[in-house]
Amino acid sequence: MARTSDGEPRYDDSAIYRQLEATGRIDAWRMDPDRERPRKRSVVTMFFDSDTAKWLEAVGYSLAMHPDPELEALADRVIDMIAEAQLPDGYLNTYFPILEPENRWKNLRDWHEMYNAGHLIEGACRIRRSDRQAQDPRCIAALCRSYRVAVRPA
């Protein structure tokens, strides 16, 4: 909700997505090694993936209650981008493959790989359960295998 000049709250359903775009979180999924990025080992950039995933989770909740073809199409574009960013071994993260590939899985306590993956999985589950024709869940299954997590079909 946002306050307007008349003091009445207004709902802006695209505000969070615009923030994800404005701050580079959506663009990060393009995995372009030449795009401008914040300095290495920035906690902010390490968390980018979870912010997009939390948005997808919220979209899943919203679509379940209020079908919206435009929002669904936007979510599908983001999901496609995420799926394309996934490495052949199932690894899915926008920070390490480009900035520090040698440090994948080196510090699970502090470097947010598991945190981000958890939010991606939650987002995928919520999208899948929103009673719509969901995207193919194979990318999440591959992610889980890359983390040695057992998954079973819903």
152 occurs within a structural domain: no
With a pLDDT cut of 90, the percent of the chain lying above it is 20
Of 97, 88, 90, 89, the residue nearest 29 (C-alpha): 97
151 occurs within a structural domain: no
**Strand ranges in the chain using DSSP code E only, listed in sequence order:** 2-3, 9-10
**Alpha-carbon span 55 to 49, nearest angstrom:** 10
Instruction: Kindly report the length of the chain.
Output: 154
Separation of CA 132 from chain center:
19
Confidence class for position 147, pLDDT limits 50, 70, 90: low
Confidence class for position 152, pLDDT limits 50, 70, 90: very low
Q: Are 113 and 104 in contact (CB under 8 A)?
A: yes
| Mean predicted confidence (pLDDT) in 107-113 | 85
153 occurs within a structural domain: no
Looking at residue 91, the DSSP 8-state letter turns out to be: -
User: How confident is the prediction for the chain on average, in pLDDT?
Assistant: 79
**What distance separates the 2 farthest-apart alpha carbons in the chain?**
54
47 occurs within a structural domain: yes
Confidence class for position 141, pLDDT limits 50, 70, 90: low
Would you state the pLDDT for residue 149?
43
| Mean predicted confidence (pLDDT) in 108-127 | 86
110 occurs within a structural domain: yes
Looking at residue 10, the DSSP 8-state letter turns out to be: E
Domain hosting 46: range is 2-146
Please write the tens of the pLDDT for every residue from 32-90. Answer: 777 666 555 555 688 889 999 999 999 989 988 888 999 989 998 998 889 888 888 88
pTM, entire model: 0.79
**Domains of the chain: total:** 1
84 occurs within a structural domain: yes
For residue 19, pLDDT over 90 is answered with yes
Would you state the pLDDT for residue 58?
92
154 occurs within a structural domain: no
With a pLDDT cut of 70, the percent of the chain lying above it is 71
